[in-house]
Amino acid sequence: MNISPESLTKIPASFATVSVGTTSTPLSSKLSAISSAGFTAIELGFPDLLSFASTFYKKEIIENDYDSLCAAGSEVKKLCEKNNLGIMMLQPFSNFEGWPEGSDERKDAFERAKGWIRIMGAISKVLAGDLRELADLLAEHNYRLAYENWCWATHAPTWREVWQIVQLVNRPNIGLCLDTFQTAGGEYGDPSTSSGLISHLGTQGQASEAGSARRYSTAERTGNGPASKA
């Protein structure tokens, strides 16, 4: 299936809040900058939500204080509406899948999922066995799961591998999140080389109808080590 340029305009274009300034940068300033740049939505970074909540309550808010985070999320929603921005997703919900059955880590992962669903309800936004169970959990609340590859991941560092996992999950509320940094970092750029490029890889094909969302993010290169997502 071919994708026309016109069809791409129907895909919401968001920008990650964690790619603007730092967590100490006021969220209101980040939203204003993203809106001024022409984006219509944000990917709300959990560190930014934590920072905003701590400022809002004038005390440190911990990451599992979901009552406070939900209340802060409602305020974030109001700020987004003032800047004509939607909230496409909340990120990064990482280290979820693959824990042994019955382990404390798996229990914690699902507790986090339930807490994040509460936050998602407050901000009104959209987000293979474990992922299928998570998708079903989200479906009960009419939410979607945007699954993104991380180019440094152990199991599925490319969008192709993540797309295969999405197909195995086989749920209507899970899709592939295409991220510019993750694609470039895994298939084009290599900060450990003098040129900054992956010299042994040629140009690879592009996704056809795999993407359910697109987003733009940046990273900074520190020395000769791997790039860190900003």
d(CA 110, CA 168): 20
Question: Does residue 55 surpass a pLDDT of 60?
Answer: yes
| Whether the predicted pLDDT of 167 surpasses 90 | no
pLDDT at 24 over 50: yes
SS3 content of the chain, % helix, strand, coil (to 5): 40, 15, 40
Q: Which two tokens stand for residue 172?
A: 């209507």
- Pairwise pLDDT comparison (160 vs 138), residue with the higher score: 138
| CA atoms of 227 and 15, how far apart (whole Å) | 19
User: pTM for the complete prediction?
Assistant: 0.60
Confidence of residue 7 (pLDDT cuts 50, 70, 90): low
- pLDDT of 161 over the 90 cut: no
- Please tell me the distance from the alpha carbon of residue 206 to that of residue 188, in angstroms, as a whole number: 13
Question: Which pLDDT belongs to residue 203?
Answer: 42
Average pLDDT (124-130) is 60
